[in-house]
């Protein structure tokens, strides 16, 4: 009897918790930062409708902004050396997201027991729990109004590097974005500068390992992804969103 009531309660509770969404669309870009894979294929299916789509993303590339019906989506990623375990993310209306797929294509894909325990007990913030296996991380990209400062962050998905520090050189000097260990994110740096030169160095070093110029529209939200390294080169992939226009840089 208790079990029956419990199941009935759960059945009533879940739709209420995960209830119907607003009318807006969610906006997603998927970024391929997998080292050693010339291309990845991402399959994503809405769990409520079963509707699926496949994406082929070249190395260090990112998709156009996908306008998605709000739902929980189930993803699987096929890369040069295998397919990841499926994983899910919620896509809510009127939110902008970036989904980074990162890791080393040749690393063992199977999750260890310790990695599973660490993930269960550690929660969403525990990254890289199983060496450099191909993994994923969602970030929010929330551009502000055009008269607000631009926001910059740096994500370190460069396999095998020490922590990386990023800065922005402007005419008035260098401003630190922050330091991030592998699979970590630093920043944000909020700035009213219209442009600058981004440089990335190993933490505590003056050696610039990657750099790129960057335009910074007012209110824009920019994520600088550091990738690569196994071939000896750190590369920067830029995802920038502005309030009324969101397109790859």
Partner 1 sequence: MSGDSDTKLGPVRVWALAAGGMVGGGIYIALGVVIAVAAQWAWLSFVISGVIAVISAWSYARLSNKYGKSGGAFEFLEDMDRRKLAGSLSWLLIVGYTLTISVYAYAFGHYVAYALAGGEWMIRALAILIGFGLIGLNLLGVGKMTSVEVVIVTGNLAILVVLAVWGLSQWDGLQLVSGIEPRAPWASIVGAAAIFVSYEGFQLLTYEYDQIANPQKTFVPVLVSSAIFVVFVYVAVALGATMLAGALTVVEQKEIALSVAAKNAAGTAGLVAMTIAAAFATAAAINSTLYSTAKLAERIANDGMLPSWFDHENRFGVPDRPVVLIGIMATFLAIIGSLSSLVEAASLVFLVTFMVVNIIAWREMDDWRWIPAIAVVLSFIVGLVLIARLAVNAPVPLALLAALSVFVFVARPMILARVHTEGGE
State the residues that interact with partner 1 by CB under 8 A: 15-22, 70-72, 87-93, 95, 97, 114, 117-118, 120-126, 138-140, 142, 185, 190
Measured CA to CA in angstroms, residue 157 lies from 16, 80, 141, 191 at distances of 37, 18, 17, 24
* Of 86 and 160, CB closest to partner 1: 86
Radius of gyration of the chain (CA): 19
| Residue 58 vs 126, nearer CB to partner 1 | 126
Neighbours of 114 (CB within 10 A): 10
* Comparison of 142 and 194: residue with beta carbon closer to partner 1: 142
Q: Between 130 and 234, whose beta carbon lies closer to partner 1?
A: 130
Three-state SS for 120?
A: helix
Least distance (Å) between residue 232 CB and partner 1? 32
Q: How far is the CB of 142 from partner 1 (least distance, A)?
A: 7
CB of 4 to partner 1, least distance (A): 18
Separation between Cα atoms, residue 214 and residue 190, nearest integer Å: 14
Tally of CB atoms within 10 A around 233: 11
* CB-based burial, 89-101: b 16+ in 10 Å, e otherwise: bebeeebbbbbbb
Q: How far is the CB of 123 from partner 1 (least distance, A)?
A: 4
């Amino acid at each position: 009897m208790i079990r029956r009531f419990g199941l009935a309660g759960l059945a009533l509770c879940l739709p209420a918790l995960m209830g119907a969404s607003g009318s807006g669309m969610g906006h997603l870009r998927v970024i391929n930062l997998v080292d050693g894979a010339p291309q990845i294929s991402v399959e994503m299916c809405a769990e409520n409708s079963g509707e699926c789509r496949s994406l082929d993303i070249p190395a260090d590339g990112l998709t156009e902004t996908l306008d998605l019906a709000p739902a929980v989506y189930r993803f699987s990623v096929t890369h040069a050396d295998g397919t990841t375990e499926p994983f899910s993310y919620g896509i809510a209306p009127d939110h902008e997201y970036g989904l980074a797929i990162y890791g080393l294509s040749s690393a063992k894909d199977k999750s260890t027991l310790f990695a599973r325990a660490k993930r269960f007990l550690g929660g969403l913030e525990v990254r890289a729990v199983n060496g450099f296996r191909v993994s994923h991380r969602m970030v929010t990209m929330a551009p502000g109004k055009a008269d607000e400062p631009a926001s910059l962050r740096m994500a370190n998905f460069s396999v095998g590097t020490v922590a990386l520090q990023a800065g922005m050189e402007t005419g008035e000097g260098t401003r630190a974005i922050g330091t991030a260990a592998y699979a970590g994110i630093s920043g944000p740096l909020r700035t009213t500068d219209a442009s600058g030169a981004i440089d990335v160095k190993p933490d505590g070093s003056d050696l610039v390992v990657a750099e790129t110029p960057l335009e910074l529209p007012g209110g824009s939200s920019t994520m600088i992804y550091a990738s690569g390294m196994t071939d000896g080169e750190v590369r920067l992939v830029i995802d920038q969103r502005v309030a009324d226009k969101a397109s790859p840089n």
